[in-house]
Amino acid sequence: MTTVATDDLTKIEGIEPFIAEVLNKAGIQSYTALANQSDESLVELMNDAGESFAFRDTSTWAQQASLAAEGKWDELKAWQVELDGGTIVVSEGEEEE
C-alpha cells in the first residue's frame, strides 16, 4: 500500500484546518499539488464546498504553496507578514496593478 505524503496546508496564509480538509478531500494534499492549482479552480472548489467557503480569497494560495514546496520558508514567512488572511493588502496611496 502506497502512502501519500500530506503537507500541512494550514501553513499557507488564509487556509484554516477546515479548508485544508476540503482541499485534502479534493486530492490536494501537498504544497506541490496546491501550487499547481489555478486560482479559478480553487475558487470553484471553495464555491462547491458551500456558503461558508465561497467568500475565501484564494488568489495567493498557489504562490505561497510554491514557495513552501521549494523550501523557501523565510521568503514565505516574510510575504505572509504583508498578507491579511491570504489577501494582498494594498496600502493607502498604492493602487493594485
Residues 6+ apart with CB under 8 A from 35: 62, 63, 65, 66, 68, 69
Q: Is residue 82 part of a domain?
A: yes
User: What percentage of residues in the chain have a pLDDT greater than 90?
Assistant: 72
Reported as a pLDDT band with limits 50, 70 and 90, residue 88 is: confident
Question: Do the domain assignments include residue 17?
Answer: yes
| 22 inside domain | yes
- 84 inside domain: yes
Which grid cell sits at 77? 514567512
Hunting for cell 465561497 — which residue is that?
54
**Is 39 inside any structural domain?**
yes
Tell whether 94 is covered by a domain.
no
Kindly state whether residue 32 falls inside one of the protein's structural domains: yes
Q: Give whole-number Cα distances, 43 to 2, 7, 80, 89, in Å.
A: 30, 21, 20, 19
Is the pLDDT reported for residue 3 higher than 60?
Answer: no
pLDDT tops 60 at residue 90: yes
Full-model pTM:
0.85
pLDDT in tens, 8-42: 999 999 999 999 999 999 999 999 999 999 999 99
CA triplet 22, 23, 27: central angle to 5 degrees? 115
Structural domain including 28 reads 9-88
Question: How many domains does the chain fold into?
Answer: 1
Asked, for residue 2, whether it belongs to a domain, the answer is no
